[in-house]
Amino acid sequence: MFYAIRHFTRYRYTRPVWQSMLEVRMHPRSENNQRCFTFRLSVNPRARIFSFFDYLGNQVHHFDLPSHHREVTIIADALVNVDAPPEIPDALPTSAWDDLRNTIDNGDYWQMLMPSHYARPSEQLLDFARELDIAKPHGRDPLTLVKDINDQIHRAFQYVRKSTAVNSPIEHSLSSRQGVCQDFAHIMTALVRYHGIPCRYVSGYLFHDGSHHDRSAEGATHAWAEAFLPPLGWAGFDPTNDLIAGGRHIRTAIGRDYTDVPPTLGTMKGRTDTELQVRVRVTPSLALLPPDQEFAADEEWSLFLEGDQQAQIVYEQEQ
């Protein structure tokens, strides 16, 4: 399935700032069952954009705005094809634990096994695991155990938008039993690693087609986890929606946790309060067309972007 993706981000400042430096991780990855055919990043005020690949293979764009400004608008357009991944079996043989240990001994998986800033074990996390009978394998093979963790997190937590902040530790969700996809992905990553299974955090998008009862919010980015399970390799699990990641999941970046993969990361110079606005649209595409053509007839998006452009014109005239 081809998807046209538009990711809109705007920072508004209550007072002018005189420099902004930003990194952007919005370029969908091209690997396995996913290919990114076109990608374009637009920035207002205009800036010269550079890019590089980080140590995990994520493409990072970065730019500097050295002049005074009161807002920054970033629009990322991408056209991506995602094929359905191979089906995952119901279970693996119990000997899969030995295969996993042998593979880890002969490979370099330590970064996805060690605790990280947001995905780390704690007594509260282990109490949660004991409560739901996922603290020990109890005869389960690695795949069955990971599936159970995915299912139990989905059952134990309510999806509540804005119930946590982007920098909230997992203990906030464990206490309230509420959270968003980022929290659930961190909890799952920490639990899977606790069992000696490499696990990584994935940021990206989920296509909401109306036929699935997804809890995650449409119009926003998404997050899930991937566990390394020989002989399957890296397999994706979405605890927010109790899914195995498939053809509707579009990957932009992988990391130890959110700290490695924020869509935007940066700093600015100036004393001001900041308002952040984010909007995401994922649209099925029947042909390999430039992303702009996918959104050209979208009246809602046109009005939204025209308002942004008018606000920028007014500000420039005031200066």
**pLDDT > 80? residue 316:** no
160 neighbors 180 (Cβ within 8 angstroms): yes
What are the C-alpha distances in Å from 187 to residues 72, 250, 256, 258? Answer: 33, 21, 12, 12
Angle (CA) 182 187 188, round 5°: 100
pLDDT at 297 over 50: no
Beta-bridge mates of residue 72: 11
b (16+ CB within 10 A) / e for 138-166: eebbbbbbbbbbbebbbebbebeeebbee
**Domains of the chain from N-terminus onward:** 2-82+262-318 (2.60.40.2250), 96-245 (3.10.620.30)
- pLDDT tens for 34-51 read 999 999 999 999 999 999
pLDDT at 314: 44
CA-to-CA separations, 98 to 28, 90, 104, 197, 308, in angstroms, rounded:
34, 19, 10, 12, 56
- Length of the chain counted residue by residue: 319
Across the chain, how many H-helices and E-strands are there? 7, 15
Phi and psi torsions of 254, nearest 5°: -125, 150
Mean pLDDT computed over 6-21: 95
Is the pLDDT at 315 greater than 90? The verdict is no
Helix (H) or strand (E) holding 240: none
| pLDDT of amino acid 127 | 97
Question: Exposed/middle/buried for 102, CB within 10 Å: 0-12, 13-18, 19+?
Answer: exposed
Q: Residue 235: helix, strand or coil by DSSP?
A: strand
Average pLDDT rounded to a whole number, residues 183-201: 98
Q: What is the pLDDT of residues 100-149, one digit of tens each?
A: 999 999 999 999 999 999 999 999 999 999 999 999 999 999 999 999 99
Q: Is the pLDDT of residue 211 over 90?
A: no
User: Which residue's structure tokens are 């389960």?
Assistant: 140
The predicted pLDDT at position 318 comes to: 47
What is the strand order of the sheet 2-17 is part of? 34-44, 69-82, 2-17, 274-285
Beta strands 69-82 and 2-17 are antiparallel
Average pLDDT over residues 182-199: 98
pLDDT, position 313: 44
Helix (H) or strand (E) holding 209: none
Q: How confident is residue 319, by pLDDT bands cut at 50, 70 and 90?
A: very low
